[in-house]
């Protein structure tokens, strides 16, 4: 009888211990989930609509994973852009002289850029049209509004020593313009800042629609402001080497 009582007591003690252990593990897991949810919500709450955060205060596992992956992608992109900016600084000190500013970009070899961005094939890159040409050129981004464009296309191979044919500026960027005139302006603003010149009509490769552009230049570069709108709304700027006779 005593042995039976001992067994019952031992089993009861084990059951209590197991229940306590399970409760502790459950509590720890819940605390970890809460901490993870808090971390993700802290990173994402600024971008989330107020109505969404109010109606759904918790984040499920799928959303957590997506948010963390987005943060990791953003961090990797920042690292790439930091490396690009470091390369630019190595290629020449900042200067008020446009030639010094632009030449840093024109020295960026395609192979070097591809290695920095982890690109193995050119079809992973962007493709910008070449004005008045039936071809496009591979484009690699410096930041959200400044790109370097190479003359080979996405179906070719990476050329290690190929340098850009143009700097393409898609929006207002400090120091990336001509005499204080920047991308993002319309033709009226551009001509008011610079001087009046003919609005020319052109085309983009494999496109039926027309484009319009203003072309200016100095001793070293051509500055082409172009837009798909006749009034030049939000014009992009192509900066290209000017192969003029300087004799």
pLDDT category, 52, cuts 50, 70, 90? Answer: very low
Of 28, 55, 71, the one marking the end of a domain is 71
Same domain (yes/no): 120, 212: yes
Same domain (yes/no): 235, 148: yes
- Residue 223 forms part of a structural domain: yes
Same domain (yes/no): 133, 177: yes
Same domain (yes/no): 59, 112: no
Same domain (yes/no): 66, 116: no
Read off the pLDDT of each residue in 213-230 and give the average, rounded to a whole number: 94
Reported as a single tens digit per residue, the pLDDT across 132-160 is: 888 888 999 888 899 999 998 878 888 99
- Domain total of the chain: 2
- Residue 85 forms part of a structural domain: no
Element containing residue 238 per DSSP (H, E): strand 236-241
Beta bridge pairs of residue 137? 128
CA proximity to 202, closest of 100, 129, 128: 129
Same domain (yes/no): 124, 167: yes
- Residue 210 forms part of a structural domain: yes
DSSP string over 200-231: EEEE-TT--SEEEEEEEE-SSEEEEEEESSTT
Of 71, 105, 131, the one marking the end of a domain is 71
- Residue 88 forms part of a structural domain: no
Are 107 and 163 within 8 A, CB to CB? yes
Same domain (yes/no): 213, 116: yes
- Residue 215 forms part of a structural domain: yes
Give 130's DSSP letter: P
Q: How far is CA 234 from the centre of its chain?
A: 20
Same domain (yes/no): 223, 102: yes
Q: What is the pLDDT of residue 192?
A: 95
- The whole domain housing 30 covers 2-71
Of 24, 53, 71, the one marking the end of a domain is 71
Same domain (yes/no): 17, 67: yes
Q: What angle separates helix 110-117 from helix 61-90, to the nearest 10 degrees?
A: 150
Same domain (yes/no): 15, 134: no
Same domain (yes/no): 116, 174: yes
DSSP string over 171-208: S--TT-EETTEETT--HHHHHHHS-----EEEE-TT--
User: Beta strand 200-203 with 210-217: parallel, antiparallel or unpaired?
Assistant: antiparallel
Same domain (yes/no): 108, 210: yes
- Long-range CB pairs of 182-185 (<8 Å, 24+ gap) are 182/237, 183/145, 183/225, 183/235, 183/236, 183/237, 184/234, 184/235, 185/225, 185/232, 185/234, 185/235
Read off the pLDDT of each residue in 222-239 and give the average, rounded to a whole number: 96
pLDDT at 62 over 90: no
pLDDT at 41 over 80: no
- Residue 170 forms part of a structural domain: yes
Report the alpha-carbon distance of residue 47 to residue 67 in Å, rounded.
12
- Residue 149 forms part of a structural domain: yes
């Amino acid at each position: 009888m005593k042995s039976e009582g001992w067994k019952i007591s031992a089993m009861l003690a084990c059951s209590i211990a197991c229940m306590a252990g399970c409760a502790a593990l459950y509590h720890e897991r819940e605390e970890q989930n809460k901490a993870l949810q808090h971390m993700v919500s802290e990173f994402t709450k600024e971008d989330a609509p107020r109505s969404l955060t109010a109606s759904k205060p918790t984040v499920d596992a799928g959303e957590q994973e997506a948010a963390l992956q987005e943060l990791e992608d953003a961090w990797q992109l920042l690292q790439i852009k930091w490396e690009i900016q470091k390369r630019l600084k190595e290629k020449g000190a900042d200067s008020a002289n446009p030639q010094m500013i632009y030449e840093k970009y024109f020295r960026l070899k395609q192979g070097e850029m591809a290695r920095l961005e982890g690109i193995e094939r050119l079809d992973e890159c962007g493709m910008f049209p070449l004005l008045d040409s039936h071809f496009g050129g591979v484009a690699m981004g410096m930041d959200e509004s400044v790109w370097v464009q190479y003359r080979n296309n996405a179906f070719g191979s990476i050329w290690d020593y190929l340098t850009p044919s143009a700097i393409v500026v898609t929006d207002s960027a400090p120091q990336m313009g001509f005499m204080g005139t920047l991308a993002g302006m319309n033709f009226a603003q551009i001509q008011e800042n610079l001087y009046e010149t003919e609005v020319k009509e052109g085309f983009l490769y494999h496109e039926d629609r027309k484009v319009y552009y203003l072309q200016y230049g100095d001793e070293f570069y051509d500055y082409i402001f172009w837009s798909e709108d006749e009034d030049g709304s939000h014009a992009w700027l192509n900066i290209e080497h000017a192969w003029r006779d300087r004799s």
